[in-house]
Amino acid sequence: MFWTRRKVLGAGLAALAAGHGPAFAGARSFVLRPGAVTARIGGVKQELLGFNGSWPGPELRARQGDEMRIRVENGLQDGALVHWHGLRVPNRMDGVNVLTQDVIPPGRSFDYRFDLPDAGTYWYHSHYISYDQVSRGLFGPLIIDERQKPDVDRDITVQLFDMLVDADGVYDEDTGPEQFTAAGRLGNVAMALASSDGVTVGERVRLRLINPSIDRVYDLRIDGLDGRIVALDGMPLEAPRAAPGIVLAPGQRCDLIGDVTGDIVFRDADAPDLGRIASSGQRPRRATAIPALVPNPMPRPNGREARATVVMQGGAGGSAHAGFGTWALNDVSGLPRKPLLNVRRGTTARITLRNDTAFDHVMHLHGHHFRELSADGAPGDYRDGTLVGAGEARDILCVLDNPGDWMLHCHMLSHQADGMATWLRVG
């Protein structure tokens, strides 16, 4: 099935005065009000959750260097917290229960305020009982434009989302035990939520792919675009890269720039038809190559080093462990009393992520981007989430320059809920 959402998604967005700060940077102010919404999905009326009456939440947009001010007004009957996934924010703005703030009670609000050092494709989502609240719709795109935008005709956000529905096509309230012991709560409808429903053949477009699904990994093929990957998890690649297939795990993003050759069709290995953006008309293609994006300002390793190992354990068919939950990291289910690492600001940490389970896991670090290391130790892409296959291991390298207590957890939210979480302290 497919679901298109035009630019009008900003209509549900209460944008306050976009005040002007210092000469260079501006401030962007938003109000996000999580609450109950009704949405039609698969032709069926659904009682779900959204922000500002919109399902899913509206796209928030600002420019690199701006200050973001977001008031979250809790319109739920339950607690609320919002996390700005992938943004390098001050710790107390990170939206994490216990580590950075208290849950916002119903009827109360919290003011988030932070600068935007990085351009790129990010997203926001509930970080409270997130396997449930995100699955009902408490998420949305968060796009930070470059000061110097690349030359494209259209900039389209595409969220890949799946939902479990019952025989009547209604959101399934049941949570069977397999949700928490195996690959998670995988939906039986999967969709591409695109911010545009039309393109012209020959146009150069930027596609910003986001995976807000709680547990599903997409193995994506895109027809109708002669494109290259220009960024992963918001961070520009040094050079555009060919994209025969794109694996997008929960929380991950991928930006492509390419020229339209026909209807843009999103296909997945398991859920073949995710949707399409129809093409019409024709215009001459650009003669120029796909441009690389300007890199974001990343910290460099400076010699102060630390090491840690995270062993992923548990689940059906996985290794035994001493934690109380289904899943564990280093024999503890849920946040341990002591952090995985306690280091001085600026320390470069090399962390081995070892998957001793029978399922894949995507490990997400808050407040930082890290580099994936290849088997011979060569630094690879910057990411904020890395997918580690069943039985595999990967090292990541991260300059921990953002002070505070930061979560490191599996972004398969059903796994996180049942134990796969730890944290780091940067002093």
Indicate if the alpha-carbon torsion angle 24, 115, 372, 350 is positive or negative: positive
User: Which option in ligand C2O, Cu ion, none does residue 361 bind, with CB closer than 5 to 8 A by kind?
Assistant: Cu ion
Q: Under the criterion CB under 5 A, does residue 216 sit at the interface with Cu ion?
A: no
Is residue 410 a contact residue for Cu ion (CB under 5 A)?
A: yes
Least separation in angstroms between residue 171's CB and ligand C2O is 21
Measure the CA–CA gap between 227 and 207, rounded to whole angstroms.
9
Q: Which is nearer to ligand C2O, 99 or 373 (CB)?
A: 99
Adjacency order of strands within the sheet including 370-373? 327-329, 305-314, 347-355, 393-400, 370-373, 379-383
- CB-based contacts of 30-33 (< 8 A; 24+ apart in sequence): 30/60, 30/68, 30/69, 30/70, 30/71, 31/70, 31/71, 31/72, 31/73, 32/57, 32/60, 32/70, 32/71, 32/72, 32/73, 32/82, 32/124, 33/72, 33/73, 33/74, 33/75
Partner interacting with residue 127 (select from ligand C2O, Cu ion, none; CB below 5-8 Å by kind)? ligand C2O
Query: Is the Cβ of residue 125 or residue 216 nearer to ligand C2O in the bound state?
Result: 125
Site for Cu ion contains 409 (CB under 5 A): no
Is the Cβ of residue 83 or residue 415 nearer to ligand C2O in the bound state?
83
Cα separation of 277 and 209, whole Å?
A: 13
Q: Least distance in Å: CB of 231 to ligand C2O? A: 17
Q: Is 415 in the site for Cu ion (CB under 5 A)?
A: yes
Q: Where does this chain touch Cu ion (CB under 5 A) — which range of 76-84, 331-339, 380-388, 405-413?
A: 405-413
Residue 83 contact among Cu ion, ligand C2O, none, beta carbon within 5 to 8 Å by kind:
ligand C2O
CB–CB of 227/266 below 8 Å?
no
| Minimum CB distance to ligand C2O, residue 86 (Å) | 8
Compute the least distance from the CB of residue 320 to ligand C2O, in Å.
Answer: 26
Q: From the list 267, 361, 366, 394, which residue makes contact with Cu ion (rule: CB under 5 A)? A: 361
User: Which of residues 412, 417, 421, 426 is near Cu ion by CB under 5 A?
Assistant: 412
- The contact mask relative to Cu ion for 21-40 (x = CB under 5 A, - = no) is --------------------
Cβ proximity of 189 and 163 under 8 Å = yes
Q: What angle do CA 346, 348, 353 make, to 5 degrees?
A: 140
Those residues with Cβ within 8 angstroms of residue 338's Cβ, 6 or more apart along the chain or in another chain? none
409's contact among ligand C2O, Cu ion, none, with CB below 5 to 8 A by partner kind, is: ligand C2O
Amino acid 72 reads V
- Binding partner of residue 81 among ligand C2O, Cu ion, none, CB cut-off 5 to 8 Å per kind: none
Pick what 407 binds: ligand C2O, Cu ion, none; C-beta below 5 to 8 Å, kind-dependent. ligand C2O
Residues forming the site for ligand C2O (CB under 6 A): 83, 85, 125, 127, 251, 364, 366, 407, 409, 411
User: Cβ(301)–Cβ(342) under 8 Å?
Assistant: no
Choice between 97 and 319, CB closer to ligand C2O: 97
**Shortest Å, Cβ 407 to ligand C2O:** 5
- Residue 369 contact, options Cu ion, ligand C2O, none, Cβ 5-8 Å cut-off depending on partner type: none
Q: How open is the CA angle 292-351-131, to the nearest 5 degrees?
A: 80
Q: Which residue has the tokens 């780091």?
A: 424
Q: Which of the listed partners (Cu ion, ligand C2O, none) does 415 bind, with a CB threshold of 5 to 8 Å by partner kind?
A: Cu ion
User: Binding to Cu ion by residue 185, rule CB under 5 A?
Assistant: no
Taking alpha carbons only, the member of 234, 294, 265, 279 closest to residue 88 is: 234
Q: How far is the CB of 134 from ligand C2O (least distance, A)?
A: 8
Binding segment for Cu ion among 13-21, 130-138, 258-266, 403-411 (CB under 5 A)?
A: 403-411
- For the bound state, the minimum distance from the C-beta of residue 357 to Cu ion, rounded and expressed in Å, comes to 8
Find the shortest distance in angstroms from Cβ 84 to ligand C2O. Answer: 9
The rounded Cα 156 to chain-centroid distance in angstroms is 16
Structure tokens at 25: 């940077």
CB of 202 to ligand C2O, least distance (A): 36
Residue 293 contact, options Cu ion, ligand C2O, none, Cβ 5-8 Å cut-off depending on partner type: none
Q: Which stretch binds Cu ion (CB under 5 A): 164-172, 194-202, 328-336, 409-417?
A: 409-417
